[in-house]
Amino acid sequence: MRESGSRVYAALDAALRGDMFRNIKPRWIEWMKLFLAIIPFPEISAARSMAMVARLAPGEELRTGFTMQMIDEFRHSTIQMHLKKWYMENYIDPAGFDITEKAFGQCYATTIGRQLGEGFITGDAITAGNIYLSVVSETSFSNTLFVAAVSEAVRNDDYALSTVFLSVQSDETRHIGNGHSLLMSIVNDPSNHLLLERDLRYAFWQNHAVVDAVIGSIIEYGTTDRDENKASYSELWHRWIYEDYYREPPRVLRRLQLLRRWSHEQVEEVLT
């Protein structure tokens, strides 16, 4: 953790020495005032959510995994807050970065950020922390949130956002592993299937309604890059969320069928 932190801060120093703010596109930075008003909140909500899932996770290993994830999520929230301060201190037009905490939740745009983050800690621990946060948000929508937004940042000469958010995304593999381990501990019981189905529908809709609205708008309208060859938000969505996420579980379950010697009927039951 110390190593990833020092790499991020070294990159921010290098960006300043390389005069990043001379080239960065003002339109992009204006949208960062909104984005960085929102994003540290879902991160700190994710940290709080870990207290909910760690209490019920079976086994010391998984409990430890969720506890470590809580520390990761604290890190995400604080380096994003630091990035906001860093823009404010170094960009020629800091107005907007200074009121993000006060303005948060006071307008429609930031209210949907509250909706995303509060969902991680509202209601049942499996619904909120396991399915909504880990299985759907971190496994699926974090790709458009942290990877697509990062590549658009670079197109707008913003190397600071990309450095910070790729460092955040590098933790998600571990978090996805935690979430799917917990899911595997409950999916064997058929009495959970309808509940999980309900949770997945709820989580997918919430993520779509918030992440696609905010990140889709930032990527399509917050950029000045009009390269015809770059993928649109909906094309990236289709690749990462439809192909890689939505269509992948049947393949994962079929692998489980081999690993855990599930019967064909058990797999079909989960899939239908």
List contacts with Fe ion (CB under 5 A): 43, 73, 76, 138, 175
Q: Which CB, 73 or 223, lies closer to Fe ion?
A: 73
DSSP 19: T
DSSP 212: I
**CB neighbours (10 Å) of residue 218?**
21
Q: Which CB, 33 or 76, lies closer to Fe ion?
A: 76
Task: Please state, in angstroms and rounded to a whole number, the distance separating the CA atoms of residues 227 and 222.
Answer: 14
Q: Which CB, 40 or 96, lies closer to Fe ion?
A: 40
Given a contact cutoff of 8 angstroms between Cβ atoms, the answer to whether 81 and 42 are in contact is no
Report in angstroms how near the CB of residue 246 gets to Fe ion at its nearest.
20
Report in angstroms how near the CB of residue 49 gets to Fe ion at its nearest.
9
Report in angstroms how near the CB of residue 117 gets to Fe ion at its nearest.
11
Q: Which CB, 173 or 234, lies closer to Fe ion?
A: 173
Report in angstroms how near the CB of residue 85 gets to Fe ion at its nearest.
19
Rg (the chain; Cα; Å):
19
Q: Which residues contact 218 (CB under 8 A, 6 or more apart)?
A: 31, 34, 35, 149, 152
Strand ranges inside 7-143, DSSP E: none
Report in angstroms how near the CB of residue 70 gets to Fe ion at its nearest.
10
Q: Which CB, 84 or 175, lies closer to Fe ion?
A: 175
Given a contact cutoff of 8 angstroms between Cβ atoms, the answer to whether 128 and 179 are in contact is no
